[in-house]
Structure 1
Amino acid sequence: MFTAAVIVGNPKPQSRTRDAAERLAAALGVTATTIEVSELGAGLLRFGDPVVASAVAAVQDADLVIAASPTYKGTYTGLLKLFLDQFPTATGLAGQVGVPLMLGGGPAHALAPELTLKPVLVELGAVCPAQGLYQLDSKYAEEGALDKWVDAWAPAIHASLRASLREDRSR
């Protein structure tokens, strides 16, 4: 029914960050396309690169955007920032539902998704109806690690997705 784009801002391909984001997409019941930003290469350093433009278009075609990053120095990676800078301000994710997800080594940075990543998604035009998800990188894959967050926030995410779909159909 709904599609998702998982943006993985971890410099290491096939990372725990990717796994956590894909688990989140599955828990929300959406079909996901994953963009490994690390695979986009030097094209991230300039605007107009065709490979990067294709990845941006893939994200913009999704209903739900899960932006995922490990926590570096209390915030998301510069790699993810380079990719998000490719989207136009205010309209780059307009009409899309966004979910910030970050993994970290301890609870000290639990607010990082809310304080650092969510504002960027909103600046790009996404609606973020849920609290950002922060998971310990050592425990994210444990049975039930997502359950509490999904129970609390999936209804708001799905309601926002349905509203976005209705808005698209009325245009």
Structure 2
Amino acid sequence: MVLSGDPRPDSHTARLANGIGSGAAQLIGARPPEVFDLADYGHRLLVPDDTDVIRAVAAVRDADLLVIATPEYNGTFTGVLKVFLDRFPSGGLAGRPTLSVVTSSTPGRAEVAESHLHALLADLGATTPGPGLAVAEDQLTRPDVLISGYLDRVRSALGVPSH
């Protein structure tokens, strides 16, 4: 499953995450991932009993593999992603393999934000099979190459033999 934490709908961060999620699903022989774009939820993320948000939380909690993506905002991940992930208690994603993807204007800012996201995912109990992907926006001109290279790096961590 893919979770995009970009507050802008159909963002390049969401498209990159969808490509990674689809590619990872192919690698592990799973069906195409379900996609939740938090931009579609808006203020409903703050409504405790919103049925669509509750369904998204349940899907994330039960996913076989998560790809969680966010642009870097002010040195960390977005507020909409934090609001969504705050619905999980500490350890609430225990054992969920999770790939993190962060985009930013510069590589250094992306790496810092990815480390913040990685720490939050660890607190939630998610396992991180392989490194997260921290990407500067100028690297997004060839997303197919970026996705392929990243999936090659995490292939063995996902339990897929090298080709």
Which band: TM-score by shorter chain? Answer: 0.7 to 0.9
Q: Give yes or no for contact 1:113–1:133 (8 Å, CA) kept in 2.
A: no
Of Structure 1 and Structure 2, which has the larger fraction of its residues in strand? Answer: 1
Q: 1:47-69: per-residue Cα shift (whole Å, max 9, x none)? A: 33322111101112211111100
Q: Give yes or no for contact 2:75–2:113 (8 Å, CA) kept in 1.
A: no
The aligned counterpart of 1:158 is 159
Q: TM-score, normalised by structure 2?
A: 0.85
The aligned counterpart of 1:79 is 80
The aligned counterpart of 2:119 is 119
The aligned counterpart of 1:11 is 7
Cα offset, 1:148, TM superposition: 2.9
Counterpart residue type for residue 71 of structure 1:
E
Q: Give yes or no for contact 1:99–1:118 (8 Å, CA) kept in 2.
A: no
Cα offset, 1:19, TM superposition: 0.4
Counterpart residue type for residue 97 of structure 1:
P
Cα offset, 1:43, TM superposition: 2.6
Cα offset, 1:141, TM superposition: 4.8
Tell me, yes or no, if structure 1 residue 25 matches structure 2 residue 26. no
The aligned counterpart of 2:96 is 96
Distance (Å, rounded) in 2 between the aligned partners of 1:84 and 1:61? 14
Distance (Å, rounded) in 1 between the aligned partners of 2:131 and 2:65? 15
Number of matched pairs: 154
Of Structure 1 and Structure 2, which has the larger fraction of its residues in helix? Answer: 2
Q: TM-score, normalised by structure 1?
A: 0.81
Residue identity over aligned pairs, in percent, reads 34
Distance (Å, rounded) in 1 between the aligned partners of 2:6 and 2:159? 27
User: Where in structure 1 are there 5+ consecutive unaligned residues?
Assistant: 160-171
User: Where in structure 2 are there 5+ consecutive unaligned residues?
Assistant: none
